[in-house]
Structures are given as C-alpha cells and as structure tokens.
Structure 1
C-alpha cells in the first residue's frame, strides 16, 4: 500500500481553499464542520475526508492550530491575560485552550507569555487590540452592507 498522498482534482481544491481561507479569516468565530463544509459547498463528510487528505489535518485541527498561532502573537505582543487571549482567538474553554496550546507549542500559554515578557519587548495595550477587533468587525459589516445594497445583487 502506497503512502503517497492522493491527488485531489483542481476544481475540488477551489472549494477546499475557500473553506480554509474562511477559517483563516474567521478563526475567532464559532466554526464547526457544518459551517466550513457549507462554505466549501460540499457535504460535511466528503469535505472532512477531502480536507484531511489535501492538507494532512482535519478541519478542526487546522482551525485549532490557526487559533493557537494567533494566540502566540497576542501573548507575545500584548498585555492581555491568558483568559482574554483564549476568548479573543475563539476558544470557549480555558482548559481546552491551554491543553491545545501546550500540544502545539510545547509549553503552557502562561509559560510562553512569561518567557516573551522577559525579553523586554514592548506590549500593545489590550484595549487597543480589542478596539482594533471591533473596527475589523465594523468594516466587515459595512462591506457586507455595501454588497447587499449594490445593484444586481
């Protein structure tokens, strides 16, 4: 039995990339298999199989890793608490966030933050981070409203 990855048809890749890009942009939001499969326009079971075959990880693992990557950015560069970072990146449980963070990074979020704080790097105040997030959401809403109001849509 060959261990080489299966070739995925190009037209299917368009659908998978659409869902992956959606997960990259909306990682803060509650996303599940049904939501990502809907973005891809595929049945959830087929989407799950093809995503895993193509990217080497399940959609849930991909989203979780993306959230941990963003959490690393926030823990390195802001003065937010671990709990605030957990919520800001879309995890709903501090315990699952800490466990997944440790699996991916090799240390707890608190250890990671302490290690980076010891370097003396400046931190962005958390209030700016939250204001920026609010501004991003407002811009997303405004662009969605413009698209809805555009003639022919």
Structure 2
C-alpha cells in the first residue's frame, strides 16, 4: 500500500507528465529534446524519461516521433508537398531518420505511402481518412512481404 505522501507525489508527477505530453502535441514541429521538456516541468531528464515511460508505455522521444509521423501522414495525403518538405515541416532535421522512423511505424516508405494514400483515401472524408491511417506505435507495423522474382 502506498503512503499518502507518495500517492500525492505520484499525482503531481502525472499532472506534470500530461503537461509535457500536451506540449509535445502542440509543439511537435519545434526542436524539442528531453532536457528542454524536463526543464519546463522542473524535473531531471532521467526522472522525466522514466516516469513518462511508466505512465504512457513509451519514451518521450518515441511519443514525439509518433506525433510527427501522424502529422507527416496527413501532409503526405494532401499531396502538395514533397517528402523532404514534409520532413522539415513536422520538425525532423534528417530526411534519413524521418524516412526510417516513418517506415518503421507505417510499414512503407513515405514516398510509397504518399502515392498509395492519395489513391486509397480519395473518396473518404478527411476525419475518416485520419482515423484509418493512424500509425501503429512500438514497431508493430507488419513487415513487408518479400518480393520473389
């Protein structure tokens, strides 16, 4: 059984973690790192990382990248920006890292997603397209089938 002071501290930490998560949701395109996020809520970076993982099941970096990839998916479905433009618009500074993480979460590279998403969601309302094309977290995207020649 937890003592009342420990419970009180845990509730305060959860409120601070929600603030961090909300900031990442709002400012996903800004250069954010764990140290800056931790400073914003007066925690150490290590404590923030451990508590965030306990509360949300993934690291702050993984959560932020998922937000960025979700936004990138929406921009790619729009079709008016190149993959490079989308990469920088969502706050990634490396096209290689962006493409790797995108492929890991979505299951296909951004250029393939853009081409296929334009065709697949052409008839769907935007709100439905967003829901059915959400990325899968924690490396759960199915591996592509090997191409046999």
TM-score range, shorter chain: 0.7 to 0.9
| Contact persistence 2:68–2:90 (CA under 8 A) | yes
Whole-Å separation in 1 of the counterparts to 2:120 and 2:43: 46
| 1:122-137 to 2 correspondences below 5 Å | none
SS of match in other structure, 2:69: helix
Q: Give the TM-score normalised by structure 1.
A: 0.71
Q: Give the TM-score normalised by structure 2.
A: 0.73
Indicate yes or no: 2:72 matched with 1:62.
no
RMSD: 1.7
Paired residues, number: 116
| Structure 1 residue 40 displacement after superposition | 2.2
Any stretches of 5+ residues in structure 2 without a counterpart? 1-6, 124-149
Whole-Å separation in 1 of the counterparts to 2:84 and 2:11: 41
Change over 3 Å in CA distance of 1:78–1:45 after alignment to 2: same
> In the alignment, which residue of structure 2 is the partner of 1:102?
103
Cα deviation code 1:7-61 (max 9, x no counterpart): 9821111100101100110000100011111122211111111011111100111
Structure 1 segments (4+ residues) deviating >6 Å: none
> In the alignment, which residue of structure 2 is the partner of 1:129?
none
| Structure 1 residue 92 displacement after superposition | 0.3
Whole-Å separation in 1 of the counterparts to 2:52 and 2:92: 22
> In the alignment, which residue of structure 1 is the partner of 2:117?
116
